[in-house]
Amino acid sequence: MKSLFKTFKKAAPAAAFTLALAGGAVLQGCSGGPGEGSATAAGVASDAAQAVYVAPGKHDEYYSFLSGGFNGQMSVYGLPSGRLLKIIPVFTQHGENGYGYNEESKAMLMTSHGFVPWDDLHHPKLSRTDGMTDGRWLFANGNNTPRVARVDLTTFETVEIMEIPNSAGNHCSPYPTDNNEYVIAGTRFSVPLDMKGATADVSMNEYADKFRGSISFIKVDQEKGDMELDFQILVPGFDYDLANGGKGPSSDWVFFTTYNTEQAGTLKELGASQNDRDYLAAVNWKLAAKYAAEGKAREMPANYYHNKMDKDTHIAKSTIKKTVRYLLPEECPGMMYLIPAPKSPHGIDVDPSGEHMVVSGKLAATIPVFSFSKMQEAIKNKSFDGEINGIPVFKYESVLKAEVPEPGLGPLHTEFDGKGNAYTSMFVSSEVVKWKLSDFTVVDRMPVYYSVGHLMIPGGDTKNPDGKYLVAMNKITKDRYLPTGPELAHSAQLIDISGEKMRMLLDFPTVAEPHYAQAIKADKVAPNSVKFYDLAKNTHPHAVKKEADASVTRQGNVVRVKMTAIRSHMTPDNIEGVQVGDTVLFHVTNLEQDWDVPHGFAVMGANTAETLIMPGATQTLRWVPKKAGVFPFYCTDFCSALHQEMQGYIRVSPKGSNVPITFSTGKKKPSA
Amino acid sequence: MKAYQKVLMIIAALSLGLLFLFPMWKIYLTAPQYPEGLEMHIWVNQIAGNTAGAIQNFNILNHYIGMEPIHADSFAELKIMPYIVIFFMVTGVLIAFIGKRKLVLSWTVLLMIAGAVGILDFYLWLEKFGTNLDPTAPIKVPGMTYVPPLLGHKTLLNFEALSLPAWGSFGIFLAITISALVYFLSRKKEAKHNAKKVMV
């Protein structure tokens, strides 16, 4: 075994390099003939149209949630049709509905760096009960300014965003444990910590000495889903890439891939690719939580935002947290181990049994599969090969179960079908490769177009996958659709994995760049979907629940318009007495108590987006008129036959004018 | 009257209690954009719907054609009717204890009249709401009125309206049927009794 490892060490880099070059050639070969659509329709099932056809008025079998990558949002698609159902704004302002623009939701995007209206959302993860997706919440990471968000799947709205301190590039995130005990988030970029809540002002030359990584353990309220940063582990200054929790026997553990164990601070493309092996970090989260609870955790100053949307006021509030607890692995024996893995690994995926940890090393020639039981054995026998920062490093062969030979080029990520098979995406050779967990041999290949990043099987990361479909998320689109200039939609492909051979069913364009996805049977989510908010439960401080209570009041230079909207008018719709330079707050309450009747609100010249108000809710548009005159406002969502008539006027007089505040709808003023 | 007939009479009286548990009448509306349907439930003491917002939704739709908004407060009947029902329930039970056939008959007939008046009243309201339209309404279709059906189906512009009695009305039906049955069952004996009198 020792010699095997040595051989591997020698051969792997050369093999990977050669293969990568070859892969490039294959890619170029594929992107041939323009005009008639894509180069090939190879592998498309003859009954593909029937397999993905969801008749008008019928519902899809699955909800799938595809991350939007650099748009900071989440896209919801129906499967198998590939129909786009919704874009859920998470980390990015959304002019479409006023998220991050209206006064109620601005606080959701507050961070210790101020208002950050954009992020890079990579990984959605569904909440879990007993190791299975439960359809209650969806967690998602913000990579650029480290944040973790929670989306409520009864409303499909982002209800919570927590900033992660001592992290940079929150890529290795968010990974829920089997019962959402914790959502775990690792840092992609290690940074020098000043241990006072910020990064230290040090030279990049000091990377190896000063830079550290962190893994955050976010506690989740079992009933409400509210998050709370319980503690962090300060880990060696590597890049932490992806993670996944164990299952069954390994359910107390979570595994992280790392790269740049060379600790290069520049040109990481080369600097982080020098070692023949990086590490798979194994953390016993239950033991970590125990250490933290038993007083092993130290505390340091911190400065991070925790933003929550109140479900009754519909107003987001920020809390600024000032401390964080942390553990040091060197002080916590048995909590963390390092497993040598082929250089710069990406995906780490644990099979449904919880025994196999599959590492997809994008530069590796094989796919190593580690054994959880062998790892337990190795811990017992202390089969270590030294340690790093007090963290024991296993001998490769003492934990290795097998290597999948010749899987393809550029393995990135693996999921499982629950029938003894694994499916790995091959970025460089643009294919999905099916292999057996019993003998670790490749049994099928499906070309995908082009350069697949992640793939997803509904429940494919849980202990009981639903092995019917696989979605490949491709990074390069080129000629797959009608061209749309230099910027193209990314492409997803739906593959039938119910039989022995994979069958290509469907291409569908995606929004921005999905990095990962989740899917769940529709009947776990659809029955709980909220149709509208109960007006009686609306406790927004400026809500008005009937037209007679609508008002316009001035306090100094702030004018509050408490307005109602109902088909097909706004009350009041004539407003006078506003002056140039006033801050006008339109608090609009949608009085409707019916399904699918939002009203939108916009006013001419407002330096913000419209706000889209759901039935029963109140939202606020802030407007500071800069010049005198009459300004129309109107409903922006086609609500009814007389939607076009749903409009009004606000008169703005010069500063110091004696026009009194008056307001009305129809001929007479609304009686009090 | 025999004991079982008295019991039946009590059941007849108490079956009116269904009026407090279920609506008397339901009007079902569907339209292309209301696949889930919209229901108005007319109770002995309230006007409600299948959802909390149903009446508001009826009024929103109706205001385009100039129909007056429907509010429970505008119907004095809803305040009076519960007392009438209670009156019938109490008197029904009393009559059962007294056990006089003639009283049973009077009670049954009175209840039938009350039911008929109720249905007439309901019809007049439908007529009033459906025809008394605001001349400034945004949607005006020449010659069109919007009287919903009292019983059965009718098309009103984009809406299909269906009107049917509900479990509450079944309570009245039960009360009338059972009390009439009591009157009928107790008849034979008294007829014999009367016959004897004649013979004497």
Give the percent of chain A with pLDDT over 70: 93
Chain A interface, best mutation among B30, B60, B73, B136, by max A CB count within 10 A: B60
Distance (Å) from the C-alpha of residue B119 to the closest C-alpha of chain A?
A: 30
How far apart CA A653 and CA A657 sit, in angstroms, is: 6
pLDDT tens figures, A610-621:
999 999 999 999
Neighbours of A483 (CB within 10 A): 11
pLDDT tens figures, A294-334:
999 999 999 999 999 999 999 999 999 999 999 999 999 99
Task: Report, as an integer, the average pLDDT of B50-65.
Answer: 92
How many CB pairs below 8 Å do chains A and B form together? 28
Distance (Å) from the C-alpha of residue B136 to the closest C-alpha of chain A?
A: 12
CA distance readout (Å), A274 to A252, A259, A277, A387, B113: 32, 10, 9, 19, 98
pLDDT > 70? residue B96: yes
Chain A residues closer than 8 Å to B56 by CB: 591-594
Backbone φ, ψ for residue A13 (5° rounding): -60, -45
Which contiguous run of DSSP H or E holds residue B196? helix B187-199
pLDDT > 50? residue A13: no
Is some CB atom of chain B closer than 8 A to the CB atom of A27?
A: no
How far apart CA A572 and CA A565 sit, in angstroms, is: 9
Task: Report, as an integer, the average pLDDT of A4-31.
Answer: 45
Nearest CA in chain A to B57: A594
Nearest CA in chain B to A645: B138
CA distance readout (Å), A220 to A149, A164, A254, A517: 12, 15, 16, 21
Distance (Å) from the C-alpha of residue B59 to the closest C-alpha of chain A?
A: 10
Closest residue to A566, CB basis, from B51, B60, B138: B60
What percent helix, strand, coil does chain A show, rounded to 5? 15, 45, 40
Q: Is the peptide bond before A345 cis (omega within 30 degrees of 0)?
A: no
pLDDT at residue B188, rounded to an integer: 67
pLDDT at residue A667, rounded to an integer: 73
pLDDT > 70? residue A5: no
Q: Are A78 and A54 in contact (CB under 8 A)?
A: yes
How far apart CA A479 and CA B167 sit, in angstroms, is: 64
Q: Do B56 and A534 touch (CB under 8 A)?
A: no
| Strand segments (E) across A328-383 | 336-342, 345-350, 356-361, 367-371
Q: Do B53 and A566 touch (CB under 8 A)?
A: no
Report the SS3 class of residue A285.
helix
Burial class from Cβ neighbours inside 10 Å (0-12, 13-18, 19+) for residue A72 reads: buried
**Residue A282: alpha-carbon gap to chain centroid:** 23
Chain A residues closer than 8 Å to B139 by CB: 641
Chain B residues closer than 8 Å to A592 by CB: 53, 56, 60
Is some CB atom of chain B closer than 8 A to the CB atom of A293?
A: no
- Rounded to 5°, angle at Cα A68 from A119 and A232: 50
CA distance readout (Å), A203 to A200, A579, B110: 9, 53, 99
Chain A interface, best mutation among B34, B39, B56, by max A CB count within 10 A: B56
Amino acid at A404: V
pLDDT at residue A274, rounded to an integer: 85
pLDDT at residue A668, rounded to an integer: 59
ipTM for the whole complex = 0.85
Is some CB atom of chain B closer than 8 A to the CB atom of A532?
A: yes
Is some CB atom of chain A closer than 8 A to the CB atom of B139?
A: yes
Confidence of residue A21 (pLDDT cuts 50, 70, 90): very low
Backbone φ, ψ for residue A23 (5° rounding): -60, -40
Q: Do B36 and A595 touch (CB under 8 A)?
A: yes
pLDDT tens figures, A99-154:
999 999 999 999 999 999 999 999 999 999 999 999 999 999 999 999 999 999 99
How far apart CA A58 and CA A51 sit, in angstroms, is: 14
Chain A interface, best mutation among B33, B57, B134, B159, by max A CB count within 10 A: B57
Chain B interface, best mutation among A532, A535, A591, A593, by max B CB count within 10 A: A593
Is some CB atom of chain A closer than 8 A to the CB atom of B64?
A: yes
Is some CB atom of chain B closer than 8 A to the CB atom of A481?
A: no
Q: Do A593 and B51 touch (CB under 8 A)?
A: yes
Burial class from Cβ neighbours inside 10 Å (0-12, 13-18, 19+) for residue A179 reads: middle
Is some CB atom of chain A closer than 8 A to the CB atom of B50?
A: no
CA distance readout (Å), B153 to A653, B114, B161: 56, 25, 6
pLDDT tens figures, A327-353:
999 999 999 999 999 888 999 999 999
> Please, which residues have CB within 8 angstroms of residue A46's CB and are 6 or more apart in sequence?
none
Is some CB atom of chain B closer than 8 A to the CB atom of A593?
A: yes
Q: Do A594 and B139 touch (CB under 8 A)?
A: no
pLDDT > 50? residue A35: no
Domain ranges of chain B: 3-185
pLDDT > 90? residue A269: no
Chain B interface, best mutation among A594, A642, A644, A665, by max B CB count within 10 A: A594
Closest residue to B60, CB basis, from A536, A567, A595: A567
**A40 vs A296: which has the higher pLDDT:** A296
Is some CB atom of chain B closer than 8 A to the CB atom of A310?
A: no
**Tokens read off for A512:** 């921005």
Q: Do A642 and B138 touch (CB under 8 A)?
A: yes
pLDDT > 50? residue A646: yes
Q: Do B64 and A595 touch (CB under 8 A)?
A: no
